[in-house]
Amino acid sequence: MKALTEKEFDEEINKDKLVVVDFWAEWCMPCRMLTPVLEKLEKEYDSVEFAKLNTDEYPNVAMRFGIFSIPTVMMFYKGEMINSFVGAMPESVVRREVEKALEKIQA
């Protein structure tokens, strides 16, 4: 997963494909539990880009999206947030959320 900086963030989420962004922090144990799930899905979905943003390093981005709990995963398409969830979820739930987002952009 690509680690985003604040400068790269807007460019990344404005792509013409689904971009899944994991808002996380080093000290967050649920974040560490979610990372392997996202890394596995990244290998399965060629058409989806997976990225992460450290909320401790870039708090302005987290504040901009009203993120108070981590991990928060937001899914963007052409700059618009189209799906999100909060917390470390099992692979089946994360997969379902990615599929929902893909359905929205294909509709």
Closest CA to 90 of 51, 38, 54: 38
Tell me the catalytic residues.
Answer: 28, 31
Give the domain 2-96 fold. Answer: Glutaredoxin (3.40.30)
Does 106 have pLDDT greater than 90? no
Q: What is the pLDDT of residues 7-57, one digit of tens each?
A: 999 999 999 999 999 999 999 999 999 999 999 999 999 999 999 999 999
Residues in Cβ contact with 98 at an 8 Å cutoff, skipping those fewer than 6 apart: 18, 20, 41, 45, 48, 75
73 confidence band (pLDDT: 50, 70, 90) = very high
- Model-level pTM? 0.95
Residue range 55-69: mean pLDDT, rounded: 94
Residue range 82-100: mean pLDDT, rounded: 96
Provide the 8-state DSSP code for 5. P
